[in-house]
Amino acid sequence: MSERDLATVGRLVRTWRERIDPESLPGFTARFGRRSQYITQAEVSRLIGVSARWYSNLERGVKTPYSDGFLDSVARVLALSEDERHTLYTYTVGRPPEPVFGVDRSMIDPALAQFVHMQPYPCYVSDQGWDVPLYNKAAGEQWRWMKREGNVMLWALTDPEARLQLIDWENSWAIPMAAQLHLAMSKNREHKRLREVVAKVQEDPDARRIYWEEGLRNVHPDGSRRRVYLPHHHDQEFEVVFLAFPLLRDPSYRLMTVVPAEECARYADVEEGGMGKLYRQAA
């Protein structure tokens, strides 16, 4: 690429970075301990998982052999549209990006889609390889990665942003999720997409260690209580409860909804002082 092309993309990337609202990144202010108008080069580097100098090269228009993984991470952190991602590739490596993995939506019928979109809390469907073919507005707002047609396991176990948003990442999130993935792999060794996900997970040193050292458990997410940060809530912590349901037409698909723990407590109070109390008196 020419020096002019690299300078052009450098200016574009800087503009894309400066339009990101730090408060839209869940856990950002809690982890970085600051609030400012936009995220810095150093902070983008940490979110990507590279050195500050490597990312700075991109904004300064330095000619460097950028990898697809790096460019896709830039696109992810800066929330680029598909057209912007295409521009980033064209001006840095002289070709368009590889097509994004296509999620199979054949099991999503209109009734299921309507049900998911009606839910007030984050609700989504994931398949056997933990790709997400369907999610509602609340899920997209609270979990940024879903808008990129992401994969639950790849995001939670390997994405630096997950370690910002998920509180007590290793013990409360990574270990039980790695166990789910390990068990699924042991039962479905010929599942192509599942093998791809496991291979990508093992490219991350921490995730690989957890997968092999902590993955030999039999766990499920239904009823799990975990803590998270949410966009535009500064350093406030939220406890959530995961509810998981298999789809009977194909149990390899999971319907997941994430309920605020405080709502569960409120319902329990109503039951204790209302109908629950009356029922016990009648008995």
DSSP of 186-255: HH-TT-HHHHHHHHHHTTSHHHHHHHHHS--S----TT-EEEE--TTSTT--EEEEEEEEEETTEEEEEE
pLDDT tens digits for range 213-241: 876 666 778 889 999 999 998 889 999 99
> pLDDT band for position 245 (50/70/90)?
very high
Closest C-alpha among 173, 204, 57 to residue 74: 57
Express each pLDDT in 255-272 by its tens digit: 999 999 988 877 666 555
Measured on CA atoms in the order 258, 132, 199, 48, is the torsion positive or negative?
Answer: negative
**Per-residue pLDDT tens over the stretch 31-90:** 887 667 889 999 999 888 889 999 999 999 888 889 998 999 999 899 898 899 999 999
pLDDT at 120: 95
pLDDT at 147: 80
Q: What is residue 276's predicted lDDT score, i.e. its pLDDT?
A: 44
The CATH code of the domain at 110-267 is: 3.30.450.180
Q: Which residues pair with 225 in a beta bridge?
A: 241
CA 89, CA 14: separation in Å to the nearest integer? 15
**Mean pLDDT over each residue of the chain, to the nearest integer:** 87
Q: What percent of the chain has pLDDT over 70?
A: 90
What pLDDT score does 148 carry? 73
In the chain, the percentage of residues whose pLDDT exceeds 90 is: 58
pTM equals: 0.84
Indicate the class that CATH gives domain 3-93: mainly alpha
Domain residues of the chain, as ranges?
3-93, 110-267
Task: Band the pLDDT of 279: cuts 50, 70, 90.
Answer: very low
Tokens of 200: 């990508």
Long-range contacts of 62-71 (CB under 8 A, 24+ apart): 62/6, 63/1, 63/3, 63/6, 66/92, 66/93, 68/93, 68/97, 68/98, 71/97
pLDDT (tens digit per residue) in 80-101: 988 999 999 998 988 999 876 6
Structure tokens at 210: 């957890």
Strand order in the sheet with 250-260: 134-135, 123-126, 250-260, 238-247, 225-228
116, 123 Cβ separation under 8 angstroms: yes
Q: Which of 129, 135, 86, 127 is nearest to 107 (CA)?
A: 127
Long-range CB contacts (< 8 A, 24+ apart) of 100-109? 100/148, 100/149, 101/131, 101/149, 101/151, 103/127, 103/131, 103/132, 103/133, 103/149, 104/131, 104/133, 105/133, 105/134, 107/133, 107/247, 107/249, 107/250, 107/253, 108/133, 108/134
Per-residue pLDDT at 283: 37
Burial of 61 (C-beta count, 10 Å sphere; 0-12/13-18/19+): buried
Domains 3-93 and 110-267 share a fold: no
Contact 112, 133 (CB under 8 A): no
In 10 A of CB 199, how many CB atoms?
9
pLDDT exceeds cutoff 50 at 253 = yes
Estimate to the nearest angstrom the gap between the alpha carbon of 166 and the chain centroid: 10
The size of the chain, in residues, is 283
Rounded to an integer, the average pLDDT of 189-204 is 94
The answer, yes or no, to whether residue 249 has pLDDT greater than 60, is yes
Residue with tokens 């902590």: 214
